[in-house]
Amino acid sequence: MLYSPKKLFLFFLSCIVLYVNYNNSGFVTAANSIGLNYGLLGDNLPSPSNVINLYKSIGISRIRIFDPNTEVLNALRGHRDIEVTVGVKDQDLAALAASEEAVKGWFAANIESYLADVNITFITVGNEVIPGPIGPQVLPVMQSLTNLVKSRNLPISISTVVAMSNLEQSYPPSAGMFSSQAREQLVPVLKLLSQTSTPILVNIYPYFAYASDPANIRLDYASFNTKSIVVQDGSLGYSNMFDAIFDAFVWAMEKEGVKNLPMVVSETGWPSAGNGNFTTPAIASTYNRNFVKHIASGKGTPKRPNKSMNGFLFATFNENQKPAGTEQNFGLYNPSDMRPIYKLF
């Protein structure tokens, strides 16, 4: 049975938790704990205005877009109750890294005109480009953007989005350590963020770990579907893989002298099709539902207990212009009729 967006509203409305608003004051505010990624790689997607109406109908107050799309940003005008994370395109990084003036020009062209009536709270510089050939371009762009927003006293945080490919080792979590390339490219970024306690955004997908080794990774452990301890790491016990991956990244940061840096989960999710029995609507529903409950509980992870976190589910819609297979099937909603793909709540 499919559930209408309005029926989902009551649950999302209940997902109110206390989280730290990571600005210099450290002020603690109440806000919805779950956001949604809004991807645009489809030729059958609803209009941005209809998508914004969907978000408001289900109580979503935080979204992430991957580039400063003018149609989406224009649709967000006047909806300042929705916090927006805007990405800098990967292909723009080289030109922006060349000079601070180029960054000022990008900001003027893509962000400036929306400051009055769109609630842009984060700008992310690159999406999973560290570690990699263009990874070194991230830090100078972040520095220039940080200088810009600071000079104008704008309440916009500057960060980047990274994948778990930065980890050379992640099991057990306490053995978490960065690869040599990640240490070269990521650690300077982490130290820049540490100066203002600005979160690093991380993409965490237990699905990919499970799908690559189903013989040795339990599905219930990967999908938040057991309360029993599956991995014991010293005094820390793990009943789900998400926490283990999250904490492995925390351990890796600490080994580089970066402690207590906030982390925002910029992407997580489970595809509902594309890889046989590993990707069914039932499993996707279980993972996403339990992730929301986990975040909303505010209990944190074994390494960071009782420290609530913010997270974005990936993604709002199935996107038919992404690579065939699972990549097209992470959506919560069918783009054609905006109905839920499976029972989520």
Q: State the maximum Cα–Cα separation within the chain, in Å, rounded to a whole number.
A: 54
Among 345, 263, 344, 247, CA closest to 310: 263
Query: Which of 83, 101, 112, 128 is labelled catalytic?
Result: 128
**What token pair was written down for 61?**
């107050």
Among 300, 276, 236, 316, CA closest to 33: 300
Supply the Cα-derived Rg of the chain in whole angstroms. Answer: 19
For the CA atoms of 205, 206, 212, 214, the dihedral, rounded to the nearest 10 degrees, stands at -160
DSSP string, 180-249: HHHHHHHHHHHHHHHTTTPPEEEE--HHHHHHH-TTTS-HHHHTT---S--EEETTEEESSHHHHHHHHH
Among 260, 261, 136, 257, CA closest to 186: 136
Query: Which of 83, 168, 267, 327 is labelled catalytic?
Result: 267
**What token pair was written down for 326?**
């699972």
Does residue 267 carry a catalytic annotation?
Answer: yes
Please answer whether residues 315 and 330 qualify as being in contact, where contact means their C-beta atoms are separated by less than 8 angstroms: yes
Q: How many CB atoms lie within 10 A of CB 242?
A: 25
Does residue 319 carry a catalytic annotation?
Answer: no
DSSP string, 140-174: HHHHHHHHHHHHTT---EEEEEE-GGGEEE-SSGG
Please answer whether residues 53 and 9 qualify as being in contact, where contact means their C-beta atoms are separated by less than 8 angstroms: no
Integer Cα distance of 83 and 156 in angstroms: 11
Interacting residues of 38 by C-beta distance below 8 A, sequence separation 6+: 51, 63, 64, 65, 72, 315, 316
DSSP string, 43-62: SSPPPHHHHHHHHHHTT--E
> Which amino acids are annotated catalytic?
128, 267
